[in-house]
Chain A
């Protein structure tokens, strides 16, 4: 039971990181990316390769993952600079679909559909550690960084260009640089989450990095509340405890649990958008002004 709870807590922390970083681009910069799982996947594969072929050092894996995912964030920053709104969503969907194919075909790097197996247990300074404390520390750091950025000049710039891009530009803000940096930060964070995910499961394959996963993370952010500090984390907790909770409901056949879970979160997304577009947390802290 303790092992079960620890496992759930680790997964929640990892998805908390994902949701918090996605919230950073969606909630603050107003860039609606539906390709977050791509960078999660890049980080996971990079971290797994480091652990498999160099040393299973958690810190090194995270750094490499952050560099790879952050570097490739340019793929998404490029369309973000060119287009907005529906067009960007379309571009990120396109990237997600291409990446899914690439992940299942680039067998040398990703192991194809079979994935990468037998990733060694992570170590830190030569000692074997479990992923839970690492994930919690990373989550805390990312939330801290988000809170700092939110108050600082950079966060204000992002919010300004989210609300009125032309006005922000007219006031001398460098829109291109701000957007690129925001993407870089968010994707590097997703990469770290990926590396931790790979080390925790000691197995990764393309199934975890598909569009469904991107949508799940997006749902976490939205259900929790975009643009809030704690919203995404709360969204991650709610959506991840859902399957655990449904497993105890007697009248749902085991084969349908997955479908019922998806129906619940789909319904939650739609109803929230109709009745409470600011999300669960958004309403508490800021009232209807943000809607």
Chain B
């Protein structure tokens, strides 16, 4: 029964990882920017929700605030950091270091303003009840899964049915051709950042309700998103989401065999193995760059 409990726990964590990872994968796939500050969007959204909640505002206002903050941060990164860098040179390492610097700054600012250590939101949604003998589930489990499913359905509808979504996929495949057809790659890359960053907000809010947030959580989230994007295959949202789910489950189920300290190491072992044996991931196409 412990196994079932861990599996369900893993699915809940994995659904949240999948959401964040899909956001990262969308940005990376469409713009080729290694948005290392994606985890920072997550942190900011989570804390924005926390502040609203502690201020006594209703949950939906907090949720909107979280989404807005994440989107604004993503857009600000695109306009103020990535675009100026890409104007003079596009080396990925320059982009990576700049994003890393921002992540460090925000992490410490959040620590100074909101206090260090774990903070969480108390709701009745995270109260677990026994659904099967020795298996406990909280309502938030169903919420996490429903949110993940609905958002994925919405995202794939957006990417396949709307003009903007199709253009985003075109941007991922051939930016030059896209410009030749008169579409603005600048506007589209802002769209990618807005949508991708917004995907981190629901996951952040649900995390605030379950395990709680701390100022360094963005780091962990970022590493998981990156791992999921690579394991899933760069350019494939489906892959990233599936890999995020898988990493969450692996992290949780591993607890049956090893101590908690090893949980994170398990994810990175999976990532490391993939990079060495199958760098193109589940659904990726092998490419030389």
Q: Interface digits, B93-118 against A, CB 8 Å rule (1 contact, 0 not)? A: 11111111111110111011000000
Which chain B residues lie closer than 8 Å to A87 at the CB level?
A: 230, 275, 279
Interface of A is mostly: helix
Given known pairs A86-B34, A270-B102, A277-B88, the reply for A263 and B279 (CB within 8 Å) is no
Shortest Cβ distance from residue A91 to the other chain B in the assembled complex, whole angstroms? 4
| Chain A residues within 8 Å of B81, by CB | 270, 274
Q: For residue B225, give the distance in angstroms from its CB to the closest CB of chain A.
A: 11
Chain A residues with CB under 8 Å of B91's CB are 277
Q: Is B223 an interface residue (CB 8 A)?
A: yes
- Our pick among B99, B259, B271 for the contact of A94 (Cβ within 8 Å) is B271
Cβ contacts under 8 Å, A85 to chain B:
92-93, 289
State how many angstroms separate the Cβ of A276 from the closest Cβ of chain B.
Answer: 10
B276 to A269, Cβ gap below 8 A? no
Question: Which single member of A82, A89, A97, A273 contacts B98 (CB below 8 Å)?
Answer: A273
Nearest A residue to B222, CB-CB:
A93
Which residues of chain B have C-beta atoms less than 8 A from A79's C-beta?
272, 275-276
**Number of chain A residues whose Cβ lies closer than 8 Å to a Cβ of chain B:** 43
| Known contacts A82-B275, A274-B84; is-contact A268 B101 (Cβ 8 Å) | yes
| Chain B residues, Cβ within 8 Å of A95 | 268, 272
Report the minimal beta-carbon distance from A267 to chain B, rounded to whole angstroms. Answer: 6
A215 touches B100 (CB 8 A): yes
Choice from A26, A97, A256 contacting B264 with Cβ under 8 Å: A97
The answer to whether A291 and B264 touch (CB under 8 A), given A91-B271, A94-B275, A269-B100, is no
The reply on B190 being an interface residue by CB < 8 A is: no
B104 close to A262 (CB less than 8 A): yes
Residues of A within 8 A of B108 (CB): 259-260, 262-263, 266
- Which residues between 255 and 289 of chain A lie within 8 Å of chain B, taking CB atoms? 256, 259-260, 262-263, 265-271, 273-274, 277
**CB atoms of B276 and A270 under 8 A apart:** no
Contact B265 A98 (CB under 8 A): yes
Does A128 make an interface contact (CB < 8 A)?
no
B261 and A104 form a contact (CB under 8 A): yes
Nearest B residue to A212, CB-CB: B104
Contact: B271 with A101, CB < 8 Å?
Answer: no
Q: Name the CB-closest residue of B to A273.
A: B98
Whether the pair A269, B264 counts as a contact (CB closer than 8 A) is no
Would you call B164 an interface residue if the criterion is a C-beta within 8 Å of the partner chain's C-beta atoms? Answer: no
Spell out B's residues near A (CB within 8 Å): 34, 81, 84-85, 88-89, 91-105, 107-109, 111-112, 219, 223, 226-227, 230, 259, 261-262, 264-265, 268-269, 271-272, 275-276, 279, 289
Question: Can you list 10 contacts pairing A with B, beta carbon distance less than 8 Å?
Answer: A79-B275, A83-B279, A87-B230, A89-B96, A91-B275, A93-B223, A97-B268, A211-B219, A256-B112, A263-B104
Interface residues of A (CB under 8 A from B): 26, 32, 78-79, 82-87, 89-91, 93-95, 97-98, 101-102, 104-105, 211, 215, 218-219, 222, 256, 259-260, 262-263, 265-271, 273-274, 277, 291
